[in-house]
């Protein structure tokens, strides 16, 4: 066979392997006779194998001076273990059906000529089950074999949660009984109304001129944040034993929503709420007692979250900042980008690689989280970035910055799972920011459309003005329902990955729709600083990009909720 013909044949195998690897549904392989080289690799790409008693498996490539070409060196160790895989690949030894079953290479051995029939029988049994549940189970099992247990458990729970919103689950529970219901708030309690009223009272003491002046200078709202802290609102999620209010994520969301609905900017407040959660869930008791009471009381501020890097963006596993253990401390080198509120914080949560990527089994391994006291720390350079909105954003450069070993949160190397664990809270709180923006835009647009008279009548009497505002109002209301559902699940300790991501997406879209409707109805005045529309317009646009882009949310829903193939 010529080199060209050989390559052409191999391309066919590569395409078949790629199709099997990305297939979201279970694949059952039937093997009659020989499965050598590429044939064996294709079998291993199936979810399991039914072999006839005449089947023989082998990787003979090395005996011919070549190499298993479509993943045999990666697939076989996952099935039979590393040492045995090395023996079979290094020697090219043949494995007959009985031994293949004994070593776990195949699931079933049947009589000669019966492999296909048995495989179809198994496939028919699987097909009787809920398709979404089966696909999610396949995905969760794959995650479990490819990542650390902490991360795998988080992903498995989210995969489970994706199945409980489908007809598959409803049909099964129709026979087995009624599943537990999630209690979602439909009206506010007296305590929650009082909470919102208290926040609004403070926010209204800081009118548009206060925020416009800060916006011109890109300055931090020190007075506003200090008053909210003194009133205890920024310690809403901290348990009472550490000096906080011990409220739920729903109440925390109401605080942020109210701030933005009053025309203020909650961007200076929300980070402390969700960053603190990582310390609360994964910090030691000594760390929690050392920091949480001071954060709750305002003695310390934790609003900086150092994750994003110039060359990794949303692909967190590719970050390049390193933290090398040297005696009783870690030495940090690297850089971060788009990190907010560093100059206004005393503490920063930092994600860094503690084990080189070429020395870890899985790409999610080897990342660690540190709680860093950045007051006067050496080796940290902060370069403010002037952005289109006032968000106190910076680039960070680490040059042999030393962090005491006791600053490590949780276990070394488990940082990716810890960060992943906090994302649902972040999504819910950012959704609340956007809901507040959306409400402000709608109220502003309604007031102006009733007051502004052109051609002898209010402009709000024109459908071209009225309908976009009405659509925006409905979008905000629908997004609020998803935020409320996500918050209810979170506060009840249930998995809420799909709901939290969808809440963030829908709220950001609703706020942006409301922003455009408000800008359009104001016409030229919308661009005038004194109306505050252009400022809030810039602020609202941020959440279509951060902390996660809308496209990544769509990719998450497509893969983890709908069971579609991974799209990135």
Instruction: Write out the catalytic residue numbers.
Output: 41, 61
DSSP string, 173-242: HHHH-PPPPP---SS--HHHHHHHHHHHHHHTTS-HHHHHHHHHHT---HHHHHHHHHTTGGGTTS-GGG
Q: Distance (Å, rounded) from C-alpha 391 to C-alpha 340? A: 6
Q: Distance (Å, rounded) from C-alpha 476 to C-alpha 438? A: 6
The 10 Å CB-count burial string (b at 16+, else e) for 272-308 is bbbbbbbbbebbeeebbeebbbbbbbeebbbbbbbbb
93's tokens: 């030894």
Residues 6+ away with beta carbon under 8 Å from 423: 497, 500, 548
Q: Distance (Å, rounded) from C-alpha 265 to C-alpha 260? A: 5
> What is the CB-side half-sphere exposure of residue 330 using CA atoms within 13 A?
25
Edge-first strand order for the sheet with 95-96 is 34-36, 56-58, 95-96
* CA 261 vs CA 201, 355, 441: distances in Å: 12, 45, 8
Tell whether omega for the bond before 477 is within 30 degrees of 0, i.e. cis.
no
SS3 273: helix
Instruction: With CA atoms as reference, report the closest residue to 539 among 500, 504, 508.
Output: 508
CB 249 within 8 A of CB 237: yes
409's tokens: 């949160």
Instruction: With CA atoms as reference, report the closest residue to 424 among 361, 486, 362.
Output: 486
Q: 402 forms bridges with which residues in the sheet?
A: 331
Query: Quick count: other Cβ atoms within 10 Å of Cβ 457?
Result: 9
Give the DSSP H or E segment for 102.
helix 97-102
Tell whether omega for the bond before 421 is within 30 degrees of 0, i.e. cis.
no
Q: Distance (Å, rounded) from C-alpha 468 to C-alpha 562? A: 31
Torsion angle defined by CA atoms of residues 125, 128, 131 and 136, in that order, rounded to the nearest 10 degrees: -50
């Amino acid at each position: 066979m010529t080199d060209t013909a050989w390559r052409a044949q191999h391309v066919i195998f590569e395409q078949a392997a790629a199709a099997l690897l990305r297939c979201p549904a279970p694949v059952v392989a039937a093997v009659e006779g020989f499965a050598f080289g590429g044939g064996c690799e294709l079998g291993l790409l199936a979810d399991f194998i039914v072999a006839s008693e005449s089947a023989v498996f082998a990787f003979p490539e090395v005996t011919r001076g070549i190499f298993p070409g479509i993943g045999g060196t990666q697939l076989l160790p996952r099935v039979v273990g590393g040492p045995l895989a090395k023996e079979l690949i290094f020697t090219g030894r043949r494995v007959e059906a009985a031994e293949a079953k004994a070593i776990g290479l195949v699931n079933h051995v049947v009589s000669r000529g019966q492999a296909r029939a048995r495989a179809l029988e198994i496939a028919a049994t699987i097909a009787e089950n809920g398709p979404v549940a089966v696909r999610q189970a396949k995905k969760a099992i794959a995650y479990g074999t490819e990542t650390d247990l902490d991360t795998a458990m988080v992903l498995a729970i989210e995969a489970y949660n994706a199945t409980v919103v489908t007809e598959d689950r409803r049909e099964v529970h129709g026979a087995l009984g009624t599943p537990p219901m999630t209690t979602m708030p439909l009206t506010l309690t007296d305590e929650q109304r009082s909470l919102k009223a208290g926040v609004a009272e403070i926010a209204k003491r800081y009118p548009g001129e206060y925020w416009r002046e800060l916006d011109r200078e890109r300055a931090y709202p020190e007075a506003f944040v200090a008053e909210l802290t003194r009133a205890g609102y920024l310690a809403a999620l901290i348990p009472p034993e550490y000096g906080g209010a011990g409220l739920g994520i729903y109440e925390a969301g109401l605080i942020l929503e109210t701030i933005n609905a009053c025309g203020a900017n909650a961007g200076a407040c929300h980070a402390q709420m969700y960053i603190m959660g990582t310390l609360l869930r994964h910090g030691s008791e000594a760390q929690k007692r050392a920091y949480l009471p001071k954060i709750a009381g305002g003695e310390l501020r934790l609003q900086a979250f150092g994750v994003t890097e110039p060359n990794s963006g949303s692909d967190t596993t590719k970050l390049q900042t390193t933290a090398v253990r040297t005696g009783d401390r870690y030495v940090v080198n690297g850089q971060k980008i788009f990190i907010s509120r560093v100059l206004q914080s005393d503490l920063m949560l930092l994600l860094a690689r503690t084990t080189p990527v070429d020395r870890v089994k899985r790409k999610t391994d080897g990342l660690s989280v540190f709680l860093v006291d950045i007051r006067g720390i050496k080796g940290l350079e902060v370069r403010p970035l002037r952005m289109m909105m006032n968000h106190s954003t910076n680039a960070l450069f680490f040059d042999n910055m030393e962090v005491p070993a006791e600053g490590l949160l949780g276990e070394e190397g488990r940082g990716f799972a810890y960060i992943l664990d906090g994302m649902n809270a972040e999504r819910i709180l950012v959704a609340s920011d956007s809901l507040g923006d959306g409400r402000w835009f709608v109220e502003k647009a309604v007031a102006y459309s009733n007051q502004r008279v052109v051609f002898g009548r209010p402009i709000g009497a024109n459908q071209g003005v009225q309908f976009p505002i009405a659509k925006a109002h409905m979008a905000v209301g629908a997004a609020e329902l998803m935020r409320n559902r996500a918050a209810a699940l979170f506060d009840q300790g249930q998995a809420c990955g799909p709901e939290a991501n969808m809440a963030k997406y829908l709220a950001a879209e609703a706020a942006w729709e409301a922003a455009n409707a408000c800008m359009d109805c104001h016409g030229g005045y919308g661009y005038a600083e004194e109306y505050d529309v252009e400022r809030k317009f810039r602020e609202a646009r941020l959440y279509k990009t951060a902390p996660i882009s809308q496209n990544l949310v769509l990719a998450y829903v497509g893969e983890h909720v709908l069971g579609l193939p991974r799209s990135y």
